[in-house]
């Protein structure tokens, strides 16, 4: 074989490899475009409905509240989190969460002072909902996901609120779940006219940029503190339309790590909603 033929063969192989990489990358991000870009303004009250992905590390909703407190000083905000370990959306009785004189009736403020919240037309303006970590892409449970995203969205709207879906992340040892979950949640969001919070895409982006930063605990599913902080920053940017970049609140992470996660969160939300 001549050197010229060998060189031509290597060039062809190189082009084929480059095309394969391009196609693989395009396929991974060739998701359905989200139709809903916001919840109609910064909400004053949010209920987070999910499972242990939400409550790890002293609960995601608490970190979001800290971000709102710093980044939107004059914005009155109240949040509750209702989580069941290992649960899917079908485990939750969402209608019960909106009943009067129940969840949200009072809050703890200051030095553990109990303050009773005055009744209002809307108990929660937004309900952020997450299914079990693999339910949306599970061969059997994906049908349940479709059923209950519709059922719970209808329930939330019946009570005057807006539904939103929290796109969860891939397991650490199953990165292929990222695109699968993104597609499932985006389609559900479009079908139910609901905002989708792209936390799963943010996890993938952070890992790509900073693979040495572990977003998981030992089970490779649940979030480390850095993972919870990233998910909180993505939710803050998505729900409130505010950039988390520059916030001093770091949840005890180093300023450098917090800055990285803030930037990833903001960039991911912008890229996802701009598609």
pLDDT, tens digit, 9 for 90 and up, residues 110-158: 788 898 877 766 889 999 999 999 999 999 999 999 999 999 999 999 9
Burial of 94 (0-12, 13-18, 19+ CB in 10 A): buried
Parent domain of 75: 32-274
pLDDT, tens digit, 9 for 90 and up, residues 1-57: 444 444 444 334 443 443 333 333 333 444 899 999 999 999 999 999 999 999 999
pLDDT, tens digit, 9 for 90 and up, residues 62-111: 999 999 999 999 999 999 999 999 999 999 999 999 998 888 788 888 78
Q: What is the pTM of this model?
A: 0.87
**Segments in 41-141 forming alpha helices (H):** 52-55, 60-71, 94-97
203 — pLDDT class (breaks 50, 70, 90): very high
The answer to whether residues 266 and 181 belong to one domain is yes
The answer to whether residues 133 and 8 belong to one domain is no
Residue 98 is given by DSSP the state T
CA 250 vs. chain centroid, Å, equals 18
Q: What is the CA radius of gyration of the chain?
A: 21
Whether residue 222 is predicted with pLDDT greater than 90 in this model: the reply is: yes
In this prediction, residue 2 carries a pLDDT of 46
Nearest to 203 by CA among 237, 164, 231: 231
Q: How many domains does the chain have?
A: 2
Average pLDDT over residues 194-210: 97
The answer to whether residues 114 and 15 belong to one domain is no
Q: What is the CATH number of the domain that holds 47?
A: 3.40.50.1110
Q: How far is CA 233 from CA 56, 71, 84, 129, 138, in A?
A: 15, 11, 23, 16, 27
């Amino acid at each position: 074989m001549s050197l010229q033929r060998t060189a031509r063969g290597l060039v062809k192989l190189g082009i084929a490899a480059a095309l394969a990489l391009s196609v693989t990358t395009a396929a991974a991000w060739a998701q359905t475009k989200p139709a809903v870009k916001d919840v109609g303004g910064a909400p004053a009250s949010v209920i987070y409905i999910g499972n242990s992905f939400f409550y790890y590390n002293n609960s995601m909703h608490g970190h979001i509240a800290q971000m709102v407190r710093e980044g939107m000083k004059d914005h009155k905000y109240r949040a509750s989190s209702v989580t069941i370990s290992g649960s899917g959306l079908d485990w939750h009785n969402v209608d019960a969460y909106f009943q009067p004189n129940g969840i949200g009736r009072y809050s703890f403020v200051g030095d553990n002072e109990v303050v009773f919240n005055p009744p209002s037309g809307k108990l929660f303006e937004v309900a952020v909902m997450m299914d079990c970590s693999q339910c949306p892409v599970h061969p059997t449970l994906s049908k349940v996901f479709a059923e209950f995203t519709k059922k719970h969205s209808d329930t939330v709207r019946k009570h005057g609120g807006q539904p939103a879906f929290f796109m969860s992340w891939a397991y650490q040892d199953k990165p292929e779940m990222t695109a699968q979950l993104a597609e499932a949640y985006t389609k559900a969001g479009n079908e139910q006219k609901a905002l989708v919070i792209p936390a799963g895409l943010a996890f993938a982006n952070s890992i790509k940029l900073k693979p040495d930063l572990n977003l998981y605990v030992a089970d490779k599913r649940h979030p480390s503190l850095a993972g919870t902080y990233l998910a909180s920053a993505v939710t803050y940017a998505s729900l409130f339309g505010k950039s988390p970049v520059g916030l001093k609140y770091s949840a005890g992470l180093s300023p450098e790590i917090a800055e990285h996660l803030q930037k990833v969160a903001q960039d991911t939300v912008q890229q996802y909603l701009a598609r």
